[in-house]
């Protein structure tokens, strides 16, 4: 009788050991990749201000933004914690130059809206779209529109990938 009691315990131990060993073998294959990129983080913070009004010299969602004030605010308050100057032309001097075909989410994109020098900045979100504080407030724009195509200067990457 004692033999019949031991056999199920041994069998249970054997099966449990097998299952645990198999699970340990699979663990490296089952790791979840739930991390967010710096670019995604910056865009998510930037989206929170969509609809905020334009204000010349503005640097806050409560009072309004101008273009460089918006990018300055987004990069500083995101997890990236990057301090940008409050000037589109000064921001253009930072980071690594990026070809238009190599743009990534979170790259800064620059334009000459005054016809002379860099005077406007936005944050690239992918699929030829960017978020920026325009004269009609913070909103999405398309790089494919004639207006932005004609004024595009270049892009810079200040985030670490």
Query: Could you list the pLDDT tens digit for every one of the 161 residues in the chain?
Result: 445 445 566 655 555 555 555 444 544 544 445 566 899 999 999 999 999 999 999 999 999 999 999 999 999 999 999 999 999 999 999 999 999 999 999 999 999 999 889 999 999 999 999 999 999 999 999 999 999 999 999 999 999 87
**pLDDT (0 to 100) of residue 17:** 53
Q: 3-state secondary structure string, the chain?
A: CHHHHHHHHHHHHHHHHHHHHHHHHHHHHHCCCCCCCHHHHHHHHHHCCCCCCECCCCEECCCEECHHHHHHHHHHHCCCCCCCCCCHHHHHCCCEEECHHHCCCCCEEEECCCCCCCCEEEEEEECCEEEEEECCEEEEEECCCHHHHHHEEEEEECCCC
**pLDDT (0 to 100) of residue 116:** 87
């Amino acid at each position: 009788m004692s033999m019949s009691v031991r056999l199920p315990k041994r069998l249970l131990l054997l099966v449990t050991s097998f299952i645990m060993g198999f699970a340990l073998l699979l663990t490296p294959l089952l790791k979840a990749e739930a991390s967010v990129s710096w670019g995604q983080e910056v865009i998510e913070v930037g989206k929170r201000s969509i609809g905020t009004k334009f204000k010349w010299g503005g640097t806050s969602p409560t009072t309004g933004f101008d273009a460089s004030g918006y990018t300055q605010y987004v990069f500083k308050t995101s997890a990236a914690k990057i301090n940008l100057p409050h000037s589109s032309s000064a921001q253009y001097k930072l980071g690594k130059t990026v070809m238009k075909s190599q743009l990534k989410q979170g790259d800064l994109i620059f334009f000459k809206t005054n016809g002379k020098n860099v005077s406007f900045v936005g944050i690239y979100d992918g699929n030829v779209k960017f978020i920026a504080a325009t004269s009609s407030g913070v909103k999405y724009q398309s790089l494919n529109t004639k207006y932005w195509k004609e004024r595009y200067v270049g892009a810079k990457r200040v985030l670490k990938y």
